[in-house]
Structure 1
Amino acid sequence: MNFDDIITRLYLLPESSKETLKVIAKLVSYPKGHLLLKADCIERNIYFIKKGIVRAYADHKDSQVTFWFGVEGAPVLSMKSYISGEKSYEHIELLEDCELYEFNIEQLKEAYQKDVHLANWGRKLAEHELVKTEERLIAMQFKTANERYHQFVTDQPQLLLRVQLGYIASYLGMSQVSLSRIRAEQR
């Protein structure tokens, strides 16, 4: 996915504002398995996925709980670090070799101060992430396992081909055995 498409998905920007973002963006590449963000660290950068897929997870007792997947075009950030400069609670792991656009948070905030269009873009980024979190919370609280799986297949069918079933089961809040049973019933 190209830079302009990724940036304008959130908010339509004038060319001068896009140019400002292009100046502070850095294209980086990391291999599958790389931990892009680590829990209990203050993250200084946010990313947008040009190519690849990532997952966010938290350690819980002796396991990892996956709670988010990011694909091409998605922002990758710790909202806690981005908004309040505090330590994150999640790990972000690359599930494929990835190319990402990296933005330093301080440089972004400086750009927000100078350009109202970029400030609105940053606001839209935060709003978008808030809505995704709210939708996820509601799904986990009020939908059955079957409904969550059906919604997942409807919203993100490409993930079934690109992500280990164990991670998908964790994301859906069920065991891998339960996920296999639901998938068998759907056939």
Structure 2
Amino acid sequence: MYIEEILKDFSTLSNESLQLIISKIKLVSLPKNTILMDADKIEKKVYFIRKGMARAYTIDDGNEITFWFGREGDCILSMRSYVINKPSYETIQLLEDCELYEIEMKELFDLYLSNLEIANWGRKFAEIELINTEERFISRQIGTAKNRYEKLLTENPSLINRVQLGYIASYLGISQVTLSRIRSEI
């Protein structure tokens, strides 16, 4: 995906404002398994996935708990660092070789201060990311494991071919054995 498409998905921007944001963005290529963000560190960058897959996870009692998958067009950021400049809760790992659009938060915040249209875009951006987080939280709380897996297949069918089953099981809050059993039933 191209950065223009990604940015316009959050909210409309005039060509002038769009070009201002794009002028601050650079394209980076990083290999599979790169840890892009570390839990307990203040993150200084926001990323948009041009190509590839990523996951967010946290450690609980020595176990990795996956709670987000990102793919082309998705944003990668620590909302906690973005909003209140505090260390993030999550670790972000690249699951494939990735091409990412990268912007420094400071440069983005400077644009918010100097351009009202970009500031409004930033508000919509944060609102959409909050809604996405809320939807992920609610979807993990309701329904059976089988229902959650079927919903995942419906909403993101390519995920099964791109992500290790252990990460998917963790995301669904079930064991890999249970996931295998569910998959054999479907």
TM-score bracket for this pair, using the shorter chain length:
over 0.9
2: CA distance, partners of 1:120 / 1:176? 43
- Give the whole-Å Cα distance in 1 for the aligned partners of 2:141 and 2:159: 22
TM-fit CA distance, 1:116: 1.7
Give me the whole-angstrom Cα distance separating, in 2, the residues matched to 1:49 and 1:27: 10
Gap runs ≥5 in structure 2: none
For residue 31 of structure 2, what is the aligned residue in structure 1? 31
Report the CA distance between 1:150 and its aligned residue: 1.1
The aligned amino acid for 2:41 is C
- Structure 1: where are the runs of 5+ without partners? none
Aligned mates of 2:108, 2:144 — CA distance in 1: 40
The residue number in structure 1 matching 2:179 is 179
Match of 2:136 in 1: 136
Q: Residues of 2 paired with 1:99 and 1:23: CA distance?
A: 17
Distance 2:168 2:145 in 1: 12
CA distance in 2 between partners of 1:23 and 1:151 (Å):
38
Question: Secondary structure of 1:87's match?
Answer: coil
1:159 equivalent in alignment to 2:150: no
* SS at structure 2 position matched to 1:7: helix
Distance of 1:123 and 1:144 partners within structure 2: 35
Task: Work out the CA distance in 1 between the residues paired with 2:180 and 2:155.
Answer: 19
Letter matched to residue 16 of structure 1: E
1:9 counterpart SS class:
helix
After superposition, the C-alpha distances for 1:123-176 in whole angstroms (9 at most, x for unaligned) are 111111111111112112222211111110111111111000000000011111
Measure, in 1, the Cα distance between the counterparts of 2:156 and 2:108: 29
Q: How many residues align?
A: 186
Give the stretch that moved more between structures: 107-116 or 163-172: 107-116
Structure 2 match to 1:57: 57
Q: For residue 28 of structure 1, what is the amino acid of its counterpart?
A: V
Deviations 1:76-103 (A, max 9, x none): 0000000110000110000001110101
Cα RMSD of the aligned pairs, angstroms, is 0.8
Please, what TM-score do these two structures have when normalized by structure 2? 0.97
TM-fit CA distance, 1:122: 0.9
| Identity value in percent | 51
Post-superposition, which runs of at least 4 consecutive aligned residues in structure 1 deviate over 2 A? none
Distance across 1 between alignment mates of 2:149 and 2:174:
10
Taking structure 1 as the reference length, the TM-score comes to: 0.97
Q: For residues 117 and 155 of structure 2, what CA distance do their matches in structure 1 show?
A: 30
Paired with 1:121 and 1:170, the residues of 2 have a C-alpha distance of 33
Match of 1:170 in 2: 170
